[in-house]
Amino acid sequence: MSASVKSLLSTLTSRGPHRVLRGNLAIAGQPGVVYTPESGLNLPAVAFGHGWLTGAANYRQLLEHLASWGFVAAAPDTERGPIPSHLNLATDLLTTLDICTGVRLGDGEISVHPDRLALAGHGMGAGAAVIAAGQRRVAAVAALFPAPTAPSAEAIAPDIDTPALILAGGTDIESVSSNAIPLAAAWGGSMVLREIDAASHNGIVEGRRALAAFGAGKHESKTARTTRALLTGYLLNKLLRDKTYAPFADPEAVIPHTTLVDPEAPREEEKPKLSVGQLASLLRR
């Protein structure tokens, strides 16, 4: 583990140098929020899709963090109900990118470069970002703790040659709530799959209320900090071509608090459980 990577991760865990402004996407006809640096032309932009039974407000710190590092970070606030349309959320993500590139933000002192765009999301929003990336080429995709969607993101992934960062929780990467491994295995372009140590798939959700009724765990501040740093470093490298942050896009780089996962490696099969009768029979031998 190089000291420089540890130092970079520590730096990216903290907010960046820019003062952050907040705006309302609804002014342009799309319910949602947008966070931007105070000023800047030809900035990179990220459209972010929320997870199931959450909304844009549950990712405020993440979006503000990206904006503090120089990104326009926008999130549609639709498909928040118990039976969402993943296709519609994907469409809203593309609309959000259109607004970012087509409208002068702030007081006209903020603009987005059309070649510096990324699609990102959490849970089902990660799947929606993949669906959107299958419809429009962007510079990068980031799937944070991706969850199964309809249509299936992994069925679309082989046709996408966009670079991708896929993050998963160390506690539930192989559970039914995560499709990180099959998504990574199917990805058509360059891809990095990282498991965040001791993290769960809903750990980055802020102020979780609706999910509490479904037994979801609490917000994990360490998971959220690590996720923000990994995402920011990856996007700085891919959207701004900043070689300083190349380790965050390197499928072989060792980064603290994470483990690289090979999606093609054979998975451990669960050992069959013995019945009481079988156990008694073994004990009698």
Amino acid identity at 33: V
Give the per-residue pLDDT at 208.
Answer: 63
Give the per-residue pLDDT at 279.
Answer: 37
Q: How far apart are CA 181 and CA 100, in angstroms?
A: 31
Q: How far apart are CA 54 and CA 65, in angstroms?
A: 19
CA nearest neighbour of 258 among 46, 5, 71: 5
Give the per-residue pLDDT at 38.
Answer: 93
Give the per-residue pLDDT at 274.
Answer: 42
Give the per-residue pLDDT at 230.
Answer: 98
Give the per-residue pLDDT at 104.
Answer: 76
Give the per-residue pLDDT at 211.
Answer: 60
3-state SS, the chain, equals CCHHHHHHHHHHHCCCCCCEEEEEHHHHCCCEEEEEECCEEEEEEEEEECCCCCCHHHHHHHHHHHHHCCCEEEEECCCCCCCCCHHHHHHHHHHHHHHHHHCCECCCCEEEEEEEEEEEEECHHHHHHHHHHCCCCCCEEEEECCCCCCCCHHHHHHHCCCCEEEEEECCCCCCCCCCHHHHHHHCCCCEEEEEECCCCCCCCCCCCCHHHHHCCCCCCHHHHHHHHHHHHHHHHHHHHCCHHHHHHHCCCCCCCCEEECCCCCCCCCCCCCCCHHHHHHHHHC
Q: What are the pLDDT digits (tens) for 62-79?
A: 999 999 999 999 999 999
Query: What is the model's pTM?
Result: 0.91
- What domains can you pick out in the chain, each with its CATH number? 3-284 (3.40.50.1820)
Q: Which residues of the chain have pLDDT under 50?
A: 1, 269-285
Give the per-residue pLDDT at 3.
Answer: 52
Give the per-residue pLDDT at 285.
Answer: 43
Give the per-residue pLDDT at 210.
Answer: 61
